[in-house]
Chains A and B, each alone.
Chain A
């Protein structure tokens, strides 16, 4: 049909964050071995406990196998062909933003994340990470007045080693999986958040990750600790330039919520996805997990995944505390030859724990989009409940959508509900909207955002608007 081609056309919006910043970088030589791990640690002047953490992880990594169970196809990654540390050259100790290379500030300006005091976002504190290092963190002092610690993880390793030693790797041990082990061995920077007892973080916190260099991997690490009775909303955004080679991104995010604490973690992932022929793009292998240790604690993941050539990502919750709550709200859009295998794990350990999963997959072009989720109810989780809803939307007739739900229950006194649906944007639906005067592109984007509404409602307001815009952009373009 005529319109099928039109749909194909409008889902191929050019990537607007694909520029490269010309900046001198300090890079180490390609490849990975024990010396490289030691070199990264020494470049960062790390205490010995962290070097040991890294070396131990490296040992585990060598023993592990790269997972191949996901519904993904890609050429084998050559781990000796990657640069594991790359940092823009600048002065060692930066006291204020005035000393940051203007090119870096300009880069973040261009990405819509101004960092300078005059221009910075007024209601969100930002940690800006460029390749392997954190460039700047805004509103640090104001947050400190409330006892909130928000800084790069490198700083935290030096200044808050008690917290790091206690919690780093406590949710995702180095031996957890291949990519987590690699990250634990070579992670270069990332964000650290600590919310003290009974403090509601006065503003949203956010990290913005920018990959600039084409041949180096990005391995950031985020750790968020919410003490009893505290709460925080955290946002994460990411973009990368267009290169015709694949760049590996293997991040680890650990969340810890104590009694009555709540953490809301939202991601808008827009890494470069490769071109229409599937050349280039980020390989995104990410391990994200939260531990609800405390009673009535709550961890909520929401994600809008639009970028990357490959996405392998399962933000999960371990529900230990009685009546703790885990949530996962996800929109994953794939187009062209993108592949996504994403979902969640909800591990119910404590009694009366609850989890909600809402996943919306949209596949266009020749892409493939899989939801993979595990709901596990342990023997002690009496009265646990889960509700899962997994919907897929197909655009055109070349895209694929899969749902792989796994349910394991060892507790008869628990409830697990799973609903799934697949739909296709039909020509008749489009014609209906068009026949009321609504432009074709707008009709498609109305239907896509309608499909995603349940998830967008969970995002912080500005983020929801951005996500909606991002999806429209991806679905907009060259209708003649």
Chain B
């Protein structure tokens, strides 16, 4: 077992990451290592830095890395623009997917898919080929093709927006998908649809980071590792039982932990 692990190269490795926005330090030394095929959950209170971490990995311009590294397959991603990160296989499922009036969802999905395909040196898809592909993927999230002709996320319900995110993930086939509170604001049926969609997309070559407050999503998708985040750091890592523990005991102990350290 030990030797097998050593051959496995980490897909995403974050080491001693410090980051800030508007002179406010948010991440204070994050360390995390994710191998291919693994599912990780990051849990923690509001404001602990979970969403910031996901935006920094995706390259949001409002945040600045002050020290530390983020490596995708051994390459530092800091110099890459957000679009280059996406093309090379990083996917961020947004907590609040933004509405973009006037831009057709179908056109957007096609341009995005082709940008990724171009990077992978695959042929770009024309409108007809793409329509065939997208119809196949719509099934995964049980979406109606009427969604395609609307503007991006415009007038979508909370659940529809989240399903649209998972549809994008299905089309882009990322190496690593970071899903930021994909479960928030979903009723139980929508949660099941989203969770089963994620499970269908997940495979040996790709990894998933689930950012969540609740155990509910983790009942549907069992994580290999659970990390607890507080005050910009990962303070505890365990297996899926850690999530159950949190559900039972809450996050108060994390405050004590921070005060002690």
**Do A and B bind?**
yes
* Interface pair B104/A427, CB less than 8 Å apart: no
Identity of the chain B residue whose Cβ is nearest the Cβ of A443 in the assembled complex: B83
Q: Does B208 contact A (CB under 8 A)?
A: no
Q: Complex formed: what's the CA distance from A449 to B101 in Å?
A: 11
Q: How many whole Å from A128's CB to the nearest CB in chain B?
A: 35
* Interface pair B81/A446, CB less than 8 Å apart: no
Quick one: CB contact mask for B27-64 with A, threshold 8 Å, 1 for yes?
Answer: 00000000000000000000000000000001111100
Identity of the chain A residue whose Cβ is nearest the Cβ of B119 in the assembled complex: A437
* Interface pair A450/B100, CB less than 8 Å apart: yes
- Of the candidate stretches A133-141, A403-411, A428-436, the one touching chain B is A428-436
Q: How many whole Å from B148's CB to the nearest CB in chain A?
A: 15
Q: Complex formed: what's the CA distance from A439 to B60 in Å?
A: 14
* Residues of the A chain whose Cβ atoms lie less than 8 Å from the Cβ of B115: 436-439
Interface residues of A in 1-24 (CB under 8 A from B): 1-3
Q: How many whole Å from B167's CB to the nearest CB in chain A?
A: 11
* Interface pair A431/B151, CB less than 8 Å apart: no
Q: Complex formed: what's the CA distance from A447 to B59 in Å?
A: 20
Q: Complex formed: what's the CA distance from A434 to B81 in Å?
A: 8
* Interface pair B98/A428, CB less than 8 Å apart: yes
Q: Complex formed: what's the CA distance from A373 to B80 in Å?
A: 47
Q: How many whole Å from B111's CB to the nearest CB in chain A?
A: 6
Q: Does A423 contact B (CB under 8 A)?
A: yes
Q: Does B92 contact A (CB under 8 A)?
A: yes
Q: How many whole Å from B163's CB to the nearest CB in chain A?
A: 16
Identity of the chain A residue whose Cβ is nearest the Cβ of B111 in the assembled complex: A438
Interface size on B, residues (CB 8 A): 32
Q: How many whole Å from A255's CB to the nearest CB in chain B?
A: 30
Q: Does B172 contact A (CB under 8 A)?
A: yes
Q: Does A178 contact B (CB under 8 A)?
A: no
Known: A423-B101, A440-B81. A431 touches B61 (CB 8 A): yes
Q: How many whole Å from B15's CB to the nearest CB in chain A?
A: 23
Picked from B62, B101, B107, B168, the residue with its CB within 8 Å of the CB of A436 is B168
* Interface pair B86/A435, CB less than 8 Å apart: yes
* Interface pair B86/A1, CB less than 8 Å apart: no
* Interface pair B60/A431, CB less than 8 Å apart: yes
* Interface pair B102/A447, CB less than 8 Å apart: yes
Identity of the chain B residue whose Cβ is nearest the Cβ of A442 in the assembled complex: B111
Number of A-B residue pairs having CB atoms within 8 Å of each other in the complex: 79
Interface of A is mostly: helix
* Interface pair B101/A432, CB less than 8 Å apart: no
* Interface pair A437/B108, CB less than 8 Å apart: no
* Residues of the B chain whose Cβ atoms lie less than 8 Å from the Cβ of A418: none
Interface size on A, residues (CB 8 A): 26
Q: Does B214 contact A (CB under 8 A)?
A: no
Q: Complex formed: what's the CA distance from A156 to B224 in Å?
A: 83
Identity of the chain B residue whose Cβ is nearest the Cβ of A3 in the assembled complex: B61
Q: Does B97 contact A (CB under 8 A)?
A: yes
* Interface pair B87/A450, CB less than 8 Å apart: no
Q: How many whole Å from A147's CB to the nearest CB in chain B?
A: 41
Identity of the chain B residue whose Cβ is nearest the Cβ of A436 in the assembled complex: B112
* Interface pair A435/B103, CB less than 8 Å apart: no
* Interface pair A439/B103, CB less than 8 Å apart: no
* Interface pair B83/A438, CB less than 8 Å apart: yes
* Interface pair B82/A434, CB less than 8 Å apart: yes
Quick one: CB contact mask for B214-228 with A, threshold 8 Å, 1 for yes?
Answer: 000000000000000
Q: How many whole Å from B23's CB to the nearest CB in chain A?
A: 14
Q: Does A387 contact B (CB under 8 A)?
A: no
* Residues of the A chain whose Cβ atoms lie less than 8 Å from the Cβ of B62: 1, 427
* Residues of the B chain whose Cβ atoms lie less than 8 Å from the Cβ of A437: 83, 86-87, 112, 115-116, 119, 172
Q: Complex formed: what's the CA distance from A449 to B81 in Å?
A: 23
Known: A447-B100, A447-B102. A435 touches B92 (CB 8 A): yes
Q: Complex formed: what's the CA distance from A439 to B111 in Å?
A: 10
Interface residues of A in 416-473 (CB under 8 A from B): 423, 426-429, 431-440, 442, 446-447, 449-453
* Residues of the A chain whose Cβ atoms lie less than 8 Å from the Cβ of B156: none
The interface centre, meaning the residue of A436, A447, A450 with most chain B CB atoms within 10 A of its CB, is A436
Quick one: CB contact mask for B169-191 with A, threshold 8 Å, 1 for yes?
Answer: 00010000000000000000000
A-B contact pairs, 29 of them (CB 8 A): A3-B61, A423-B101, A427-B62, A431-B58, A431-B61, A432-B98, A433-B100, A434-B59, A434-B83, A435-B59, A435-B82, A435-B91, A436-B115, A437-B86, A437-B115, A437-B119, A437-B172, A438-B83, A438-B115, A439-B115, A440-B81, A446-B103, A446-B108, A446-B111, A449-B102, A450-B100, A450-B103, A450-B104, A451-B102
Give 7 new A-B contacts, CB below 8 A, not counting A432-B97, A436-B115, A437-B115.
A427-B62, A429-B98, A431-B61, A433-B108, A433-B112, A434-B82, A439-B83
B residues near A (Cβ < 8 Å) are 58-62, 81-83, 85-87, 91-92, 94, 97-98, 100-104, 107-108, 111-112, 115-116, 119, 151-152, 168, 172
Q: Please list the 10 inter-chain residue pairs (A to B) with the smallest Cβ-Cβ separation, ordered nearest first.
A: A450-B102, A437-B115, A450-B103, A436-B112, A437-B86, A434-B82, A437-B87, A434-B83, A2-B61, A451-B102
